[in-house]
Structure 1
Amino acid sequence: MSLDEQFKTVSDTVKNWSKKPSNDENLALYSLFKQANFGDVNIPQPSGMVESAKWKAWSGRKGMSADEAKKQYIDLANQWQAKYA
């Protein structure tokens, strides 16, 4: 299975977890997902608390390649699978 196929499979699985990860864990997954799909943050920082936290998390991945973001996302999701599935 290719990296893209693995990433798609794992991200689909994460969407269906029965329990919600902590805010920090959610931000880690979110930022890796955005970096993998869109590259470096490409929008201005929003003013809302939640939106700003998401933006900051994604911005913290600046310069990371899409493939590296996908690998890290897969690794984190696999580590947390038993905890949240």
Structure 2
Amino acid sequence: MELIQQFEKAVAESKNLSEKPSNETLLQLYSLYKQGSLGDINIDPPTNPFDIVNKAKYNAWEALKGTSKEKAMQDYVDLVNRLKG
């Protein structure tokens, strides 16, 4: 199966996990998804200092800057497979 198809399948499967992942794992899924689908971060950081959730999302995605889309997609697929057990 082609990587893009595996990635899309993993995205669908991530919505039906038997238990909710930790916040740290959710951030990892988010950042790998964004990097795999859009590439390097292309948005401005949140300006509200109290917007902790969006700041964490921004920082997680920014940390992957320079990672290829293919590597991010593969890492996402691997993570979802681990979460599925």
TM-score (norm 1): 0.92
Partner of 1:42 in structure 2? 42
How much is the aligned-residue C-alpha RMSD, in angstroms? Answer: 0.9
Q: Which runs of 5+ in 1 are unaligned?
A: none
- The AA in structure 2 aligned to 1:39 is G
The C-alpha deviation readout for 1:4-60, integer Å capped at 9, x for no partner, is: 000000110001224210010000111000000111111111131100000000000
Q: Give the corresponding residue for 1:2.
A: 2
Q: Which amino acid aligns with 2:84?
A: Q
Correspondence 1:31 to 2:42:
no
Question: Unpaired segments of 5 or more residues in structure 2?
Answer: none
- Structure 2 counterparts to residues 6-25 of structure 1, below 5 A: 6-25=6-25
- Percent identical residues: 44
**1:81 maps to 2:84:** yes
More helix by share: 1
